[in-house]
């Protein structure tokens, strides 16, 4: 089995790039299951109903979110859809689901979404404690567990990888929009990569217009961010699973 995780969709350009490339990638790589992070798809902040429907039309299996989960009010119309999950370590009682279990080729696949706490301006619960609680609850009900850890600090992401090594199938990082070249299978068998990158404008500052970004850094004055235009990239990672033991046997980064 092959599972594809697609890096943060950034704006309409990221959505167009997903439409352009996903079907061909699924066919060429014989992908069975697709996870897409879409917390930036609504021009950098949140997701609209149209965005959501467009992504589902591409036969994506799971849509994960992050610190901009509530960026667009539209989300409250579809927050309970089974294919949408938001960070599980938002405070208890918050609408939506932090994880869900899906069936693919007679395998039960759990996908968990978490948000980091280092250098992220979100009042969330401890992701390490929360994910441990979830795994304890579902470990005997599923064949595989994938974790999208939406976090800023590389140290926090790496720590999460080792914390979950041997407990989940794979941990992949999102949020920083820069693909890392550290994909590996950890000592106890868990597939890991610090960040899978973004799907959006190639010549940009993590998806944003270069001139607007430079003005902010050069002058320190407020400048409204806007999505960059031009050529786009598709970022993601493919996890190839050994069907006999449900562990990752290889990983392949996509940067195209």
Active-site annotation, residues: 68
- Confirm if 52 and 78 have CB atoms less than 8 A apart: yes
- Confirm if 62 and 172 have CB atoms less than 8 A apart: no
Residue where the block lists tokens 């591409």: 58
Q: Give Cβ neighbours of residue 220 (< 8 Å, ≥ 6 apart).
A: none
Q: Largest Cα–Cα distance in the chain?
A: 57
Cα gap 102→83, rounded to integer Å = 9
- Confirm if 85 and 98 have CB atoms less than 8 A apart: yes
């Amino acid at each position: 089995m092959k599972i594809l995780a697609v890096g943060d969709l950034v704006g309409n350009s990221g959505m167009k790039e997903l439409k352009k490339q996903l079907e061909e990638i699924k066919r060429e790589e014989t992908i069975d299951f697709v996870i897409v992070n879409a917390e930036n798809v609504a021009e950098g902040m949140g997701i609209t109903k149209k965005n959501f429907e467009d992504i589902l039309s591409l036969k994506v299996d799971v849509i994960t979110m992050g610190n901009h989960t509530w960026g667009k009010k539209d989300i409250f119309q579809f927050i309970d859809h089974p294919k949408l999950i938001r960070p599980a370590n938002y405070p208890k009682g918050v609408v939506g689901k932090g994880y869900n279990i899906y069936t693919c080729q007679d395998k039960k696949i759990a996908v968990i979404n978490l948000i980091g706490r280092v250098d992220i301006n979100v009042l969330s619960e401890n992701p390490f404690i929360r994910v441990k609680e979830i795994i304890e609850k579902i470990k005997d009900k599923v064949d595989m567990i994938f974790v999208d850890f939406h976090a800023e600090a590389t140290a926090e992401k790496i720590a999460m990888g080792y914390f979950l090594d041997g407990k989940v199938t794979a941990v992949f990082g999102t949020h920083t929009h820069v693909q890392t070249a550290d994909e590996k299978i950890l000592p106890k068998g868990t597939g890991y990569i610090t960040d899978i990158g973004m799907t959006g404008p190639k010549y940009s500052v993590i998806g944003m217009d270069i001139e607007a970004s430079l003005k902010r850094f050069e002058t320190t004055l407020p400048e409204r961010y806007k999505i960059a235009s031009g050529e786009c990239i598709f970022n993601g990672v493919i996890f190839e699973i050994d069907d006999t033991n449900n562990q990752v046997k290889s990983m392949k980064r996509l940067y195209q």
